Structure 1
Amino acid sequence: MATDVEIALQFTPRPISEIAEKLGIEDHYLNHYGRDIAKVDLRALSHNDRQPGKLILVSATTPTPSGEGKTTTTIGLGQAFSQLNESVCLALREPSLGPCLGMKGGATGGGYSQIMPADRINLHFTGDFHAITSANNLVSAAIDNHIYHGNKLSIDPRQIVWRRVMDMNDRSLRKIVLGLGGKLQGIPREGGFDITAASEVMAMLCLAEDAEDLQQRLDRTLIGFTYDGEPVYARQLEITGAMMALLRDALQPNLVQSFEGTPAFVHGGPFANIAHGCNSVIATRMAMQYADWAITEAGFGFDLGAEKFFDIKCRIANLDPDAVVLVTTVRALKMHGGKQKNALESEDLSAVKLGLGNLDKHIESVVLFNKQPVVALNRFATDTDAEVAIIRDRCNELGVAFAETTHHTDGGKGALELAQAVMGSVTQNQPFKPLYDLDLTVLEKVRAVCKQMYGADDVAFTKEAAKDLQLVEQLRLTHLPVCIAKAPSSLSDDPLLHGRPRDFEVTVRAIQINSGAGFLVILTGDILRMPGLPKQPAANKMRLLKSGVIEGLE
């Protein structure tokens, strides 16, 4: 079977100006990054008064190492809409270098359902992640510089909550000591790094409506506390203007295309397990404004990215998806039924049946938001008809639409059944209902998500988390939504509990205040905001060939 790179070499991207013209975006709004990529000026959004298109959200059952193909399905679905002569545009997240070089590999789809140029999108792209990293670390440098030069604001080095970031998996930087080397090197203090995708600057850029909104978010960002316990905000360092300068181009969404010429805005990349897991509001609005159908995705399983899509992004941006797609695979349900990864290619009807509990829970979770999902079975070559029939029968039993897809091998043609099912589901969906009201206490919000979305019995706060909660109450930020960071491989906070766990409690160990982004990050279990590389990272397989082609970026 051909690799993704070999398949990609079969396609020649159309000039990006043609893709923009297909959407109706005038050329003077484009900032070209070569022939195949362009940033789109934000004025293109305000200067278009057409009725916004319908919004389709793609999510998935709980991820497994076998891969569910959510992004590939999103792209295949978009190509299917194009084949049906529908006006469509994708709105996807940007890949992070950390996972690309670590365990996951590239994040631009697969097979015949990819966006291109995949190598540039996966590696550096238009520099958005680097701009976000620089803006974040400018704050860190300004904090330490302010303390070094007299500390007029009386910032307590022991109470600085702002952390440095980098777009790489590096476990050794999670906790560090700064300022060693003598008097001229600064004030020694503890610090650390998160991955750029988990940074608050990334979240702020992705949730901002425009440049003015982003400026306001940066200004109100909490960075630490004084010796007297008073909060200190980024605006007090007088560097948010410089942050805006660094983020000027990064705020503009990136326009690319799929193999079949379907337009795609790829912009912003927060992880769903440690951040809010959705592409930018600006890119989503741009896709809706220039197409009749906008297709977006929410990271990892429905319990992570999609819950935050509804409770954070939709609430903040006043969005409401018209259809929801829930991606699953026979392989994933086998693993949730107890099958080992190295034994997924042989038929096992009992394992599929045992794994159905995970699918059932995610379907129930979609309904909690007042939506009716379409289950998309991403079919692999080793799946048997009998295994597929079990999943189809369960969906019929639950009264849920089901579509089998082969978009990986057949491109848009392989997702036509799914596209028709999605269009047919639109009339069944009512306005979405948030999982919790914002006037509830923080504990009640966390409990609502953990009990209703994960199936937990209850929530337990550690002593540290209880202190964090008191601080949230002291700063009068209890009205903010919650962004729960937890293991992506399980509905629980224990990554080893697969299927549909029952009789468990979620442990909250800390709360991080993201006052600029406008939510509270709830850290559960052992989740970390700086991943590490696996024993054999994907980077070990990459090579730059003499032809200029990058091998192993899949």
Structure 2
Amino acid sequence: MKTDIEISQEADLRPITEIAEKIDLNSDDIELYGKYKAKIPLSVLKKFDTNPDGKLILVTSINPTPAGEGKSTVTVGLADAFNRLGTKAMAALREPSLGPVMGIKGGATGGGYAQVLPMEDINLHFTGDIHAITTANNAVAAFLDNSLQQGNPLNIDPRRITWKRVLDLNDRSLRHVNIGLGGVVNGIPREDGFDITVASEIMAVLCLATSYADLKARLSVIVVANTYDRKAVTIGDLGVAGAIAMLLKDALKPNLVQTIEGTPVLIHGGPFANIAHGCNSVLATKTALKLADVTITEAGFGADLGGEKFLDITTRQLPKNPDAVVIVATIRALKMHGGVGKKELTTENLPALEAGFANLKRHIENMQSYGLPVIVALNQFASDTVAEIEKLIALTKALNVPVSLTNVYEKGGAGAQDLAEKLADLLKEKSEFHYLYPLESSISEKIQDVVTKIYGGKSVTFTVKAKRQMKEIEANGWANLPVCMAKTQYSFSDNATLLAAPKDFEITVRELVPKIGAGFIVALTGDVMTMPGLPKQPAALKMDIDEDGKISGLF
């Protein structure tokens, strides 16, 4: 079997101008970044504003495992499948971060014959959006430290600076650093640290902003520090919101690319779902909804993280709820949730499959609890036996939920035609969408709702630090914001080793971080980190480039 990069390099890319024509965009509606990439100016959204919104499909999954689920691959193949059926469809996806690309997770452009192209560009530097966010974030840090150096007119307490510098790589050595050393001319000595760029609040702001004015307004209220008398200091207080917005002028525009089959795809923004809200930009999704009859978007990690956050955070900004939800699962992953080790996944094991099905069942029930129609996409592997497939279909149908076998990795859009046909019927149903919690609930009540109603836990414990922060959030008038849970992606709980569908566990919230520009409160649980580290054998060890500039080893 050819590798993903070999398949992508052999694909016949169309000029991006031809892809744009499929969604009624002319040469004046796009800004070319070479031959196969383009940005879509915000004026295009205004131009097509009177178009009715198309249907919106959210693709999510079970809790991820090392066995793989293929959520992005199914998303891409599904968009191709709808176009094969004669439905004008687009996909809206997140942009890969270089940290996971060079580390262990890999890219985010699908795989096999269900890929977004040009794969190498997208997985490396693309159109520079993440670099622009890195620069904007670090510019804020520079202006903040300069304010301290120049007499500290804002009365900032250096011990209560919350803004960190960022880098789009996994680098554990930078989690905690000391800066300003070496004498008076080098700044005020203090403790600092780095997050990965996709964890920056500016990334979240870019993905939730709906216009340049909204972008600037959101940047203005980002809290970067506190004064000696515990008052919040914002980017607006530093007086540089306009300058930071200027650095993001081009980054705010969605990026247009294509699948192997020539389906238009918007890739824009890349917040992680375990430490941020995990969805592509609102602007990209809004644009696709105006240009296509069906838009397929994806939320990061499992439905307990990206799925919940899309429904409780992102939809409030669109504002549109999904018309249907696809939950991607594999027999291999479900057997791993049922207690099977990675080396035994190719051996038929019906008891383990049934035990692991509890994970899928809870995700199904969770998505249904929002009042949305749900379908399961079984992403097939060659090792899946007939008995295992029949067992999973029977278990799913027992819940009165449709299931479709997909094989987009090998067949592209043809491998998701059954899924697209079943979704076409599902989209005719009227959803009765409602949020998990009202914004008027307290911070603790919202977190309790997520933990008990989505995760299956019994209670939430707040550390002394978190309780103090909750009082400060309430005192500042921020308690009416949604919550963004930061926890391990591997389990419903905050313990990565508790697979399947654990019950009656407690979750400890160790810290609450107000992200006022993004418009949510982050609740940090377990040992989740905002700057990942590299594995023992990083993916970068297999990557190379030859004399002709041809890349190899990129998945």
- Give the alignment's TM-score, normalised by structure 1: 0.99
SS in structure 1 at match of 2:327: strand
Deviates more, 1:71-80 or 1:381-390: 381-390
How many angstroms apart in 2 are the aligned matches of 1:97 and 1:194?
Answer: 13
How many angstroms apart in 1 are the aligned matches of 2:289 and 2:314?
Answer: 15
* Pairing of 1:34-433 with structure 2 (within 5 A): 34-48=34-48, 49-433=50-434
CA contact 1:320–1:431 (8 Å) conserved in 2: no
1:338 partner amino acid: G
Deviates more, 1:411-420 or 1:314-323: 314-323
CA contact 2:220–2:517 (8 Å) conserved in 1: yes
**CA shift at 1:429, angstroms?**
4.2
CA-to-partner distance for each residue in 1:430-464, whole Å, 9 max, x for gaps? 13111001111100000000101100011000111
SS in structure 2 at match of 1:9: helix
CA contact 1:370–1:429 (8 Å) conserved in 2: no
SS in structure 2 at match of 1:326: strand
CA-to-partner distance for each residue in 1:320-349, whole Å, 9 max, x for gaps? 111110000001101000011121111111
What residue is the counterpart of 1:31 in the other structure? 31
What residue is the counterpart of 2:465 in the other structure? 464
How many angstroms apart in 2 are the aligned matches of 1:536 and 1:286?
Answer: 39
* Pairing of 1:9-28 with structure 2 (within 5 A): 9-28=9-28
How many angstroms apart in 1 are the aligned matches of 2:402 and 2:120?
Answer: 35
CA contact 1:132–1:247 (8 Å) conserved in 2: yes
**CA shift at 1:10, angstroms?**
2.1
CA contact 2:224–2:235 (8 Å) conserved in 1: yes
**CA shift at 1:225, angstroms?**
1.1
1:120 partner amino acid: D
CA contact 1:334–1:344 (8 Å) conserved in 2: yes
**CA shift at 1:29, angstroms?**
1.8
How many angstroms apart in 2 are the aligned matches of 1:538 and 1:510?
Answer: 32
What residue is the counterpart of 1:453 in the other structure? 454
Deviates more, 1:327-336 or 1:363-372: 363-372
CA-to-partner distance for each residue in 1:164-201, whole Å, 9 max, x for gaps? 11101111111111111111111111111111111100
1:298 partner amino acid: A
How many angstroms apart in 2 are the aligned matches of 1:403 and 1:437?
Answer: 34
1:141 partner amino acid: A
**CA shift at 1:5, angstroms?**
1.2
- Give the alignment's TM-score, normalised by structure 2: 0.99
1:315 partner amino acid: R
Provide runs of 4+ in structure 1 moved above 4 Å.
none
* Pairing of 1:519-534 with structure 2 (within 5 A): 519-534=520-535
How many angstroms apart in 2 are the aligned matches of 1:138 and 1:235?
Answer: 14
**CA shift at 1:9, angstroms?**
2.2
SS in structure 2 at match of 1:510: strand
SS in structure 1 at match of 2:191: strand
1:516 partner amino acid: G
How many angstroms apart in 1 are the aligned matches of 2:65 and 2:438?
Answer: 32
**CA shift at 1:516, angstroms?**
0.6
How many angstroms apart in 2 are the aligned matches of 1:385 and 1:170?
Answer: 44
1:304 partner amino acid: L
Q: CA RMSD in A?
A: 0.9
Matched, 1:479 2:473: no
1:119 partner amino acid: E
Q: Which runs of 5+ in 1 are unaligned?
A: none
1:497 partner amino acid: L
**CA shift at 1:233, angstroms?**
1.1
CA-to-partner distance for each residue in 1:72-91, whole Å, 9 max, x for gaps? 00000001011111100110
SS in structure 2 at match of 1:57: strand
How many angstroms apart in 2 are the aligned matches of 1:179 and 1:284?
Answer: 42
SS in structure 1 at match of 2:427: helix
How many angstroms apart in 2 are the aligned matches of 1:5 and 1:280?
Answer: 26
2:368 partner amino acid: V
How many angstroms apart in 1 are the aligned matches of 2:218 and 2:352?
Answer: 48
How many angstroms apart in 1 are the aligned matches of 2:197 and 2:349?
Answer: 41
Number of positions where the alignment pairs a residue of Structure 1 with one of Structure 2: 554
1:173 partner amino acid: L
How many angstroms apart in 2 are the aligned matches of 1:427 and 1:453?
Answer: 27
CA contact 2:371–2:434 (8 Å) conserved in 1: yes
Deviates more, 1:233-242 or 1:329-338: 233-242
2:358 partner amino acid: G
CA-to-partner distance for each residue in 1:480-507, whole Å, 9 max, x for gaps? 1000000001111001111111121011
Deviates more, 1:211-220 or 1:418-427: 418-427
CA contact 1:512–1:521 (8 Å) conserved in 2: yes
CA-to-partner distance for each residue in 1:42-82, whole Å, 9 max, x for gaps? 10110112211110100000100111000000000001011
CA-to-partner distance for each residue in 1:225-244, whole Å, 9 max, x for gaps? 11122111111111111111
SS in structure 2 at match of 1:434: coil
What residue is the counterpart of 1:439 in the other structure? 440
How many angstroms apart in 2 are the aligned matches of 1:285 and 1:67?
Answer: 30
**CA shift at 1:25, angstroms?**
1.2
CA-to-partner distance for each residue in 1:87-127, whole Å, 9 max, x for gaps? 00110000000000001112110000000000000001000
How many angstroms apart in 2 are the aligned matches of 1:317 and 1:52?
Answer: 11
SS in structure 1 at match of 2:185: helix
SS in structure 2 at match of 1:428: coil
How many angstroms apart in 2 are the aligned matches of 1:178 and 1:432?
Answer: 49
How many angstroms apart in 2 are the aligned matches of 1:381 and 1:444?
Answer: 45
How many angstroms apart in 2 are the aligned matches of 1:429 and 1:161?
Answer: 44
**CA shift at 1:288, angstroms?**
0.6
**CA shift at 1:317, angstroms?**
2.5
**CA shift at 1:524, angstroms?**
0.5
CA contact 1:62–1:490 (8 Å) conserved in 2: yes
CA contact 1:456–1:503 (8 Å) conserved in 2: yes
How many angstroms apart in 2 are the aligned matches of 1:467 and 1:509?
Answer: 11
Amino-acid identity (%): 51
1:445 partner amino acid: K
**CA shift at 1:360, angstroms?**
0.6
CA contact 1:64–1:335 (8 Å) conserved in 2: yes
How many angstroms apart in 2 are the aligned matches of 1:213 and 1:313?
Answer: 15
2:93 partner amino acid: L
How many angstroms apart in 1 are the aligned matches of 2:443 and 2:230?
Answer: 22
SS in structure 1 at match of 2:10: coil
**CA shift at 1:416, angstroms?**
0.2
2:32 partner amino acid: H
SS in structure 2 at match of 1:503: coil
CA contact 1:323–1:429 (8 Å) conserved in 2: no
**CA shift at 1:377, angstroms?**
0.1
